[in-house]
Amino acid sequence: MAEVRKILVVEDEKKIAEVIKAYLEREDYLVTTTASGAEALTLADSGNYDLIVLDLMLPDLSGEEVCAELRRRSDVPIIMVTARTAEDEKVHGLNIGADDYLTKPFSPRELVARIKSILRRTHSDTEFLAEKIDFDGERLVIDVARHEVRFDGEPVALTPHEFKLLLTLARHPGRVYSRYELINKVQGYDYEGYERTIDAHVKNLRQKIEADPKNPHYVLTVFGVGYKFAT
Ligand code: CA
């Protein structure tokens, strides 16, 4: 039997929170709701949630602050929900570490579909040790258990930082990572000059796993934001 997934819904508009909760419970998710960003952080620390739905406009902390704080503490998937529609807000939502982004009004069905898709991806993360990711008919292979990468059939010597960087990006093709997020994932901390460090890691990685490092096929630049793995 499938294990029950726990979802935290952070939304101060009561009606919207109720609708989301009803839809998710119909899909057998265990749902907690809160209207407060501060309470969301407390709940997230103790609740062991599989995913968080986060409204951008909250009465106490902003959704951005909550998202950034959650990201500092964990990898829990976050879907941002907002009434703002500007494209730069969307980029910002992803920039601060949200996994996905929905603009109000959205259909609850759309939200459920996005949640299912994200949980499918993160679930496979837990089967970590046996993990082998390959792209383009095994042209690029990442063998996690062996800590090995092969490109065009040849083993590629990556530094531990390059390996972590590649794995982080390749696990979620299409997901945009900011340099800040990447440095935290790759080196476990941030410091001044981290942007250039990540750029250097990416440059070195491209030399090793791209047929044409100047026109990358796998590790793509997202201008003004960071990097993503090609879908
Ligand atoms: Ca709100």
Tens digit of each residue's pLDDT (9 = 90 or more) over 6-27:
999 999 999 999 999 999 999 9
Q: Measured in angstroms, how far is the CA atom of residue 32 from the centroid of ligand 1?
A: 16
Q: What is the pLDDT of residues 111-133, one digit of tens each?
A: 999 898 888 776 555 445 557 88
Is the confidence at residue 106, as pLDDT, over 90? no
Q: Measured in angstroms, how far is the CA atom of residue 141 from the centroid of ligand 1?
A: 43
Q: Measured in angstroms, how far is the CA atom of residue 13 from the centroid of ligand 1?
A: 6
Residue 124 has a CB neighbour count (10 Å cut-off) of: 12
Q: Measured in angstroms, how far is the CA atom of residue 14 from the centroid of ligand 1?
A: 9
Q: Measured in angstroms, how far is the CA atom of residue 12 from the centroid of ligand 1?
A: 5
| Protein residues with C-beta less than 5 angstroms from the ion ligand 1 | 12, 55, 57
Q: Measured in angstroms, how far is the CA atom of residue 10 from the centroid of ligand 1?
A: 9
Assign residue 152 a region (left: φ > 0; alpha: ψ between -120 and 50; beta: otherwise): left
Q: Measured in angstroms, how far is the CA atom of residue 56 from the centroid of ligand 1?
A: 6
Q: How far is CA 103 from CA 19, 54, 110, in A?
A: 16, 12, 11
Q: Measured in angstroms, how far is the CA atom of residue 81 from the centroid of ligand 1?
A: 9
Q: Measured in angstroms, how far is the CA atom of residue 96 from the centroid of ligand 1?
A: 18
Mean pLDDT within 153-179: 89
**Per-chain mean pLDDT for the chain:** 85
Give the pLDDT of residue 85.
63
Is the confidence at residue 96, as pLDDT, over 80? no
Q: Measured in angstroms, how far is the CA atom of residue 122 from the centroid of ligand 1?
A: 27
Query: Which two structure tokens, joined as six digits, stand for 23?
Result: 């839809």
Poorest-pLDDT segment among 54-63, 95-104, 200-209 = 95-104
Estimate to the nearest angstrom the gap between the alpha carbon of 161 and the chain centroid. Answer: 19
Give the pLDDT of residue 130.
55
Q: Where residue 1 falls among pLDDT bands split at 50, 70, 90?
A: very low
- Structural domains of the chain, with CATH: 6-123 (3.40.50.2300), 132-229 (1.10.10.10)
Closest CA to 29 of 103, 65, 82, 79: 79
